[in-house]
Every structure is written in C-alpha cells, then in structure tokens.
C-alpha cells in the first residue's frame, strides 16, 4: 500500500497522521487495534475481529478543518451511506475510493454480508479518501460504522495534517 503515498506525492501533497483512534462496540468487535505506522507517520494500520456476520452496515464520513478565525474545527464534508448499496451500485466515487483503500484486508475481501472473522489493513494512506477541496492544513476525519436502527459498531478518528509538497520543499531550502 506504500504506492498510495507516492500517488499522493505526485499530486503534490503528503499527509502526516498525528492521532489515530478507534473505539469499538464490544458486542460486535474484539481485539481491535489502530496504529500509526512510524517513523514517518504517513500511513495507518488497523486490525480487528468481527464476532458476528453483519448483513447491513451503514457508514458516516466527516471531514473538518480549522476555521481561520476561531481555530475551531468546522465540518466541510459529511456523507452517510449503506455499505452494501455502495459496493453493489458503484456510483459514489469518493466512497468507492475509501472502500478501495480498505479492500485488501488480508484473507478477507470487502463484500456483503461481512463475515465474522479477522480483518486487517496495513500501511494504508487516507489521502485517497479525502475530498479534493482540502488544501494544506490540519484536518479531522471521523468515520463511523453502524448497524441501522441497532447500534454503532466502530468509530474511527484521525487527526492529521495535509502538506503541500512544493511549500515543504521551499521551507527546507530556506533553512538549509
């Protein structure tokens, strides 16, 4: 998955992840771990054990950036979807990009229903799933998986910074 970093880099941006946190519902998931891959902090890895088959799974993706005046985070992107419908219809490009990032999960493939068992993603960059309107700035990404009208399954929070490669090269030249 390191290829994603180079694709993003060729577009002129890279991401440094500062915090990556997962909160799971113990009725559905056990042995969850969410880690930032050191030393560069540009990719993430996650692992979990799904305790039961899931026939219907909804998701909410939200992206927020700091308001220049107040520095408080303001939401710029919010989308709710049903996983099986997105996988079946393949109409929402932003969601397909996110799900494509998660598609290689060891011996499991993203399909419906999700079968109980061990799921793992390694060295994934979240850059491919960011909305194109982001510019160099910190951002907050929240991703919620839920069973409609039943319960939340997992909440993922990523606090990171998007850097413009050209600006970063100029900063380095200035101090070298």
Kindly report, residue by residue over 109-158, the tens digit of the pLDDT: 667 888 899 988 888 876 655 666 677 889 998 989 999 989 999 999 99
The full set of domains in the chain, from first to last, is: 2-162 (2.60.40)
In the sheet that holds 151-164, the strands lie side by side as: 13-24, 151-164, 137-147, 58-66, 73-82
Location of structure tokens 């560069």? 40
Distance of alpha carbon 23 from alpha carbon 32, whole angstroms: 8
Q: What is the pTM of this model?
A: 0.78
- CA angle 111–107–117, rounded 5-degree value: 75
CA nearest to 159, candidates 23, 13, 18, 33: 18
Low-confidence ranges of the chain (pLDDT < 70): 1-11, 90-110, 126-133, 166-176
- Please report the pLDDT score of residue 50 as a whole number: 93
Q: Beta strands of 26-116 (E only): which ranges? A: 29-37, 43-50, 58-66, 73-82
* Cα first-last separation, the chain: 32
d(CA 52, CA 33): 18
pLDDT of residue 129: 59
Beta strands at 137-147 and 58-66: parallel, antiparallel or unpaired: antiparallel
- Report the DSSP beta bridge partners of residue 141: 63, 158
């Amino acid at each position: 998955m390191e290829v994603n970093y180079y694709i993003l880099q060729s577009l002129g941006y890279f991401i440094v992840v500062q915090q990556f946190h997962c909160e799971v519902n113990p009725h559905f998931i056990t042995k969850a771990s969410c880690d930032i891959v050191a030393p560069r902090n540009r990719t993430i890895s996650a692992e979990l054990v799904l305790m039961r088959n899931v026939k219907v799974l909804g998701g909410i993706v939200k992206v927020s950036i700091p308001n220049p005046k107040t520095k408080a985070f303001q939401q710029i992107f919010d989308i709710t979807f049903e996983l099986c419908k997105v996988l079946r219809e393949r109409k929402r490009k932003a969601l397909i990009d996110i799900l494509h990032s998660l598609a290689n999960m060891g011996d499991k493939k993203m399909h419906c229903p999700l079968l109980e068992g061990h799921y793992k993603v390694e060295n994934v960059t979240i850059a491919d799933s960011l909305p194109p309107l982001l510019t160099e700035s910190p951002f907050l990404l929240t991703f919620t998986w839920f069973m409609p009208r039943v319960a939340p399954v997992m909440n993922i929070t990523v606090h990171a910074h998007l850097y413009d490669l050209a600006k970063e090269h100029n900063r380095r030249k200035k101090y070298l």
